[in-house]
Amino acid sequence: MPSPRASACMAMILVGVVSGYVTSSTKRPMTSLATASLFGRDHSSLNWCGAVQYSSQVTFVEGTWTVPSVSIPNGNLSTDQYWFYQWVGIDGVFPCEVLLQGGTGTIGSIPKWSLVLTENFTVHVGDVVYVSVEATSPKTGTICIDNLSTGESQTFNPVSQNGSLCQKTAEWIAEDPGITVQPFPSFSAFNLISCKATTGSGSVITLDGAELWEMNQNGRRLCHAEVNSNSDLTVFNG
């Protein structure tokens, strides 16, 4: 089997205020009923998987992860278009539909996984990336993406044209993107480490008490997360 860097898979960069990753249309996760859990309230979603932390005046969120490998699920078509994103963000949970997010992701028909949306910046499976998002105002933000494996880094300053941030939640998320769900690949479990957020007053937000979201579609769990510490999270396939 080829090494991750030698494979045909490349990750794209997700950047934006609100979905579209470079555009400014509003969106929210598709969710269902929440139940109690050890670390918070487990929440079932059609397209989000990870940790959501509720606060007020969230201004900064950061995290580091290794870009996971992907593969076709058993019984699925190799011609399907599969989508898988990993990101940190502020808001996007109803009723706060504006979402400031930055991260990595893969789109493609296996085995030709490809797409790089950001000019002169490439991320491969197996690369370690650090991503931070900062709300500089309710309608503007700064997104920093550092590829710690290559030494490359870029900063973006997106602007929302359709609404303002509430700054009420911090997120560390794996996603099946889109208003309607896309075919979802199998993926290697990966850790989100050094997960932290801050508020406008300087208070530090950790994963303690975070709401854990799991992705469920058609009666099947596709993705779930477990908290390892107040700053580390593991995202699992299935």
The domain limits of the chain are: 4-237
CA atoms 148, 149, 154, 157: torsion sign: negative
Q: What is the mean pLDDT of residues 96-120?
A: 64
Q: Which residue is listed with tokens 């555009």?
A: 23
Q: What is the mean pLDDT of residues 126-130?
A: 93
How does DSSP assign 192-237, residue by residue?
EEEEEEEETT--EE-STTPEEEEEEETTEEEEEEEE-SSS-EEEEE
Burial of 236 per CB tally in 10 Å (0-12, 13-18, 19+): middle
What is the structure's pLDDT at 150? 92
Distance, in Å, from the CA atom of 185 to the CA atom of 74, rounded to the nearest integer, reads 10
User: Of 149, 148, 103, which is closest to residue 3 (Cα–Cα)?
Assistant: 149
The CATH number assigned to the domain with range 4-237 reads 2.60.120.700
Neighbours of 201 (CB within 10 A): 8
Cα–Cα dist 46/56, whole Å: 26
Average pLDDT over residues 179-194: 82
Q: Is the pLDDT of residue 82 over 50?
A: yes
pLDDT at site 222 = 86
pLDDT top residue among 70 and 59: 59
**For residues 34 and 46, what is the distance between their CA atoms, to the nearest angstrom?**
13
What pLDDT sits at residue 113?
Answer: 38
Task: Calculate what percentage of the chain has a pLDDT beyond 90.
Answer: 42
Higher pLDDT, 167 or 81: 167
Return the higher-pLDDT residue of 36 and 226.
226
> What is the set of active-site residues?
175
The pLDDT of residue 24: 24
What pLDDT is stored for residue 18 in this prediction?
41
Instruction: Specify the pLDDT at position 115.
Output: 34
Residues 17-50 as b or e (16 or more Cβ within 10 Å = b): bbbebeebebbbbbeeeeeeeebbebbbbbbbbb
Length of the chain: 238
Give pLDDT, residue 181.
63
What's the rounded mean pLDDT across residues 46-72? Answer: 92
Average pLDDT in the chain: 77
